[in-house]
Structure 1
């Protein structure tokens, strides 16, 4: 059963008069919550979704296997290549400060693995491993919706931000830290998307005994640099944001514990799925891991001068991705472009900067972007979060027009709750009861 088929009864129930009425009443509160946090450009879907608990568990297990396979290969690379070789292999400038010990470990990993709900089952399309990833704020938005309704949908479910806060608490205790500083970059102020205000609140709840600060890099205090051994820093900015590398050097030089340094730029590189299919690295992996890769990872190759022409000729069956990019930028669906257009996109970078991945047909989901609007087919991408190995629910991004689904474009975002069939029915019955208790045009 596809994700679309699995959600069909749920989506139909969201259009019933009772549930539609209570969702209509609660949505402005969810929207206002996001707007108050500065995320006015973030498009929110009007209700949550569900996924079978067994499917979520299988995706979580597969995600852990892929991270473990990546770590196995990284340890081999660290043992056989110089650090300069690794910088070059992953296209990183010398200014990218890397914690080589952390790169060889599986600890302190904060990840979102993006998942395509295809007609063949679930398939991963890329790995985003970095402390600056986002999207988990949608869980908090849905929590506001449920609290307004008195709907118990999220009770007992995992939250990626709570998992991050728990991780920060463990690191702070291990390092005897006295403060936690969430540090973003000045250029991220007022851009219309979520910052780290919500995460700060979760960390305060997890470690109330610590001083927890949220700052942009220009406001990072001199005394924190002097007391680096007592300071735990959560990095909220990307390497691409850094226009003052001297600040990063001062931060690292202070002795502060930073979660994470730019070793995550290596882990989030899009060449990894090609490496999982490369015989040079497959020999390092056990049969069970190779089976997981064969089931969940579309065949991917790194482009070279020798295979570029053939790959472009087979563009109808491929997706081309710039290996160091984010936010859905520089993802080219081959069937939507001519050979000349794809060649032009490659110009100025070089083949080795790109990967080509087998295109998989996704199962569109018929959903309404707003309460009361006509449901229409949407392209959907899911994202499962792994925080220090703990998995939580899924981010859902949906676009009516684009196969490259990106919330910084026209897509909208929602949250997907893992649930058994019995739990799903219980949640629907509860929402219908809430709708029955709400007069049309009035409040309970």
Structure 2
């Protein structure tokens, strides 16, 4: 990545800027907005306004294209689309129990800035999207006087992703109330993750409260479903922002069915759409690349696919012979995997081991894709954590471009110490804000 397109401040940690960042970050930990285990990128990262606009607009075009796949390829049959993406019948039923959506209200691309431009290895679509949860804390750090002074001097700008998200949720929630009183929203956490991601949930609640909503984080058991609506502590709830998904619903139908049925009757809103997960998996990228469907896309759409999406194939017996010969350039990924779990690199094995691994994957019940490996750009940066303070290292970078209501909504970056192959939130990575500049 050249200095013409990228900027970072990598001075010694003793500078006033980094001391101010450390002070502000520690305060966010004490307030519960940043987890004790969280790692932040202290160096201010900026890219050119042109590159930022390109990654945002390309993200939106490709996500909209993915949302058109059920109609284009499966005549509107969501079950057939879900099966093609590797979901079970039970999960498809859980995700399609409410009316389908036609767009992604909230999404993020995983974007690598390479010598050949932006490359998207996946798209995250739904309600709980990594990186966004830190935006409130990062925004507060950004406003520390010494941090703000440097950003202002460089004439950096940054989109307020947290506020854009909150405005979108408020707009959606207002559709489900008929009174003019305070808007009551409940963020309903997954039973499996509420304690682990308490700081995520509270950050979202704070963003919504800033726009005037009454917001509490709770569990499904805290809600009382009545014939006329959903209540909590005798207050009528207008909208549930769900952090639970199809897996929760399938495991505990007795807990979630009353809420789902109330939403079907129009007594409460639920966001983000339950079917988001259908579109947020790597099999959709394989559908974009499948030669069977090439005639379903326009020339401009094919140009976007070839320019921005690494070649991606569903792992099947049909492609096995071809992909064995491409071992060194391929990565195998579970279509619905998260945080780098289950990812294997062809270059890590001998020819016979690679063939054996792929056959084992084919024999399993977990669908996989094979994707052209994309290498992360690297940079020397200053990282921060509550246990280690400030430290310098060389990092591999993957950017995240947010889209809210089909509009570009800002960038974040995930930085993993150089040498790590999987750049994920779970891989000891650091998260940071990304600024834009006309001067780069």
TM-score bin, normalised by smaller chain? 0.7 to 0.9
With 95-104 and 307-316 compared, the bigger mean Cα shift is at 95-104
Quote the offset at 1:190 in angstroms: 2.9
| Aligned partner (choices 43, 55, 62) of residue 51 of structure 2 | 55
Which residue pairs with 1:129 in the alignment? 125
Match of 1:32 among 27, 46, 53: 27
The change in CA–CA distance for 1:86 and 1:296 in structure 2 (over 3 A counts) is closer
Q: Which runs of 4+ in 1 moved over 6 A?
A: 371-374
CA gap 1:419/1:67 in 2 versus in 1, 3 angstroms: same
Give the superposition deviation at 1:267: 0.5
Q: Give the structure with the higher percent helix.
A: 1
Q: CA–CA distance in 1 between the matches of 2:74 and 2:362?
A: 26
Flag the structure with higher strand content.
Answer: 2
CA distance in structure 2 between the aligned counterparts of 1:349 and 1:223, rounded to whole angstroms: 47
Post-superposition offset of 1:69: 1.2
Change (3 A) 1:267 1:211: same
Distance, in Å, in 1 between the alignment partners of 2:269 and 2:363 is 36
Quick one: structure 1 residues 279 and 142, their matched pair in 2 at CA, closer, same or farther if it must change by over 3 Å? same
Aligned to 1:404: 422
- In the superposition, the TM-score normalised over structure 1's length comes to 0.83
**Structure 1 unaligned spans of 5+:** 425-444
Worse-matched range after superposition: 358-367 or 338-347? 338-347
CA RMSD of aligned residues (A): 3.0
Output the CA distance in 2 between the equivalents of 1:341 and 1:33.
45
- Which of the numbers 84, 88, 110 marks the counterpart of 2:83? 88
Report which stretch shifted further, 28-37 or 93-102. Answer: 93-102
Matched, 1:361 2:375: yes
SS of corresponding position for 2:210: helix
Q: What is the count of residue pairs matched by the alignment? A: 413
Which stretch has the larger CA shift, 232-241 or 398-407? 232-241
- For residues 358-399 of structure 1, what are the alpha-carbon distances to aligned partners after superposition, in whole Å with 9 as ceiling and x for unaligned? 123332222233499664332111111111112222221111
Deviations 1:231-275 (A, max 9, x none): 211111343455323322221111232112431121111011111
DSSP 3-state at the match of 1:50 = strand
- Taking the aligned partners of 1:170 and 1:211, their CA distance within structure 2 comes to 14
Whether the 8 Å contact between 1:366 and 1:376 is mirrored in structure 2 is yes
Pick from 224, 238, 243: which aligns with 1:236?
Answer: 243
Q: Which runs of 5+ in 2 are unaligned?
A: none
Question: What CA deviation, in whole Å up to 9, does each residue of 1:382-418 have, x standing for no partner?
Answer: 1111111122222211112312111222111111112
For 1:305-320, list aligned pairs within 5 A.
Answer: 305-320=317-332
Q: Which whole-Å CA distance do the structure 2 matches of 1:104 and 1:172 have between them?
A: 16
How does 1:317-356 map onto structure 2 within 5 Å? 317-339=329-351, 340=353, 343-344=356-357, 347=360, 350=363, 353-356=367-370
User: Where does residue 167 of structure 1 map in the other structure?
Assistant: 168
